[in-house]
Amino acid sequence: MIVGLLALLLFLVLVAIGIIILVLVIGSLILFFPATIVALVVLLLTGSWLFAGAAFLVTAIIMIVLK
């Protein structure tokens, strides 16, 4: 009985950690929404995650500099 409760508690803790990480990631994606869109377009056009990451980085830097 105790082992079952500990397993359930561990599962709920892992779910809570996942939710916190998801909120942090989504929050940062919303903050850099234009950079995310540019990265997605580059990923769709080239198929390269490396180019998409570089496009996100360049767009995010431009957004920060212009802000």
When pLDDT is cut at 50, 70 and 90, the band that residue 48 belongs to is: confident
pTM: 0.59
On the question of pLDDT at 63 being above 80, the answer is yes
CA distance 59 to 51: 12
CB atoms within 10 A of CB 52: 20
Pick the residue with more confidence: 24 or 47?
47
Note the pLDDT of residue 22.
Answer: 67
Give me the mean pLDDT over the 24-48 stretch. 83
Contacts by 56-62 with C-beta closer than 8 Å and gap 24+?
56/32, 59/32, 59/34, 59/35, 60/32, 60/35
Give me the mean pLDDT over the 37-57 stretch. 88
